[in-house]
Structure 1
Amino acid sequence: MGNSPDGKAPDDANPPEDVNSPEEERPSIGRTLQQARIAAKLTIDEVSGATRVRIPIVHAIEQDDFSRCGGDVYARGHIRMIAQKVGLDAEPLIERFDAEHGGRPAPTPAAPLFEAERIRPERRRPNWTAAMVAAIVAVAGFVGFTAFSGGDGDGKTKPVAEGPKPEKTNVKPSATKTADPKPDPSDSAIAAAPRDKVTVKLSATDDKSWISAKAHNGKLLFDGLLLKGDSKTFQDDDQIDLILGNAGAIDLFVNGKKVEDEFETGQVERLSYTKGDPEVG
């Protein structure tokens, strides 16, 4: 076998092509987001301020460390918001994340929790109005009886001739009962929201929306699909964190007051509320 003109063997002159596939050469999720951010001339602080994802979490995601996100559900939401901010299509990144982390979990039914929330406002309380009416009727009856039985005396019982006035209360129980205030049925789930807690109500009015709700201690309250026409109510002592997958389809009430933010259809929002809100977290 002869040598090539430059003195190298044929195999050395023509080295084998790189066998790495484009898939293997493709940068990681974090690297892709970092490169897009740099290309968009954005700092981590600017991305954090626009997406409400904390700076340490943005930095960790760019290093492909998703452990600080608080779970796969929050990691998907963070990836989606950061990708939108730096000008990327989020769906391929979400699909790649699911493939690398075992896929998207099935929605967690939360019927027992919301049954408890619906039952809580309906607990019966002592009917003080009925007790007061009964007491008034008893007093009126006693006064009327005293006036009637003393009518044959020497006239000293005349002052009790006013007895028939309270006796009129016998015909007023129904009017007194109707005066019992009732909550506005439109917001009955949160109209009496306690001041020492934070209460959040979500209603899917225009379309379905995926939502996630988390308590202040990190406990996942709900992760699933809210269908059009459905409502969910959450309550916590200190704070409730939300991710809305289709924020434009949701009517949001916080501590009995509607939040008037103009969310767009298909927009992903990450929100936090406390006892002092409504204010977007």
Structure 2
Amino acid sequence: MSSGIGDTLREAREEQGRSIEEAAHALRLRSAQLRALEDEQFDGFGGDVYARGFLKSYALELGLDPAPLLDTYREQVSGEDPVAAAPLMAPGGSSGVRTPRAAPPGWIAWVLVGVLVLAALGFLGQFVGSRAPEVASPEPPVSPVDGDADGEDADGPAEPEPTETEEPEPPAPEGIELFLALEAASWMRVTVDGTVVFEQVAPAGETLRFPGEDSVTVRYGNAGGVRVELNGEDLGAPGAPGSVVEVEYTPDGPSDT
């Protein structure tokens, strides 16, 4: 059963008159990855943290608010509670360090759950009767006409039937597409093509995306708490839990610095 996520992405892209390939080029992703999001084939992303990261990036590229889509994903795809999954950030959100908060009264929690359920039902109602994928009908077999069993007629051998060839998918754009999925909190400093773009503690549950042209260098304060994906390849953790590691990522792969 469709959750409506794929239909929302596809309709937004088509309203802008963009093809899958054009959107993939703008995001420096492979078109097969965006097609999987529109078809709601989330199993191929290597885990929920990666799937949510790709979904958020695609929604922002299309000018959509990713929050309702992520809530729908957590509720209908991964089975998470959207309220419990939302990270608690420190005021300002710059340090990435969580601060303890007093538990709200029980009746407030029930009110919030009721509001979220009504919002989810209203959101899903917009996508009832979503389109089913079209299935191409097979071509009927071609039999020889006015000829013998070998398909030859009086004028000579029959001309071979032209065959349609599937247009190859354009090669993936050059460069670097780095995803960092935080399984545990970690301080990190990220340098993209010589410029420091991130230097703070990232909380557990976050997925960060860093595109680059020539190199992306990351210094990890807790290397065992971060899973790395480089240009679609899952590299796992760059080191042991609690270890400080610095890795440079280029189109050719990772290397320790």
TM-score of the superposition, structure 2-length normalised? 0.38
State the structure with more CA Rg. Answer: 1
- Comparing both structures, which one devotes a greater share of its residues to helix? 1
- Comparing both structures, which one devotes a greater share of its residues to strand? 2
Q: Which has the higher contact order (CA 8 A, sep 6+)?
A: 2
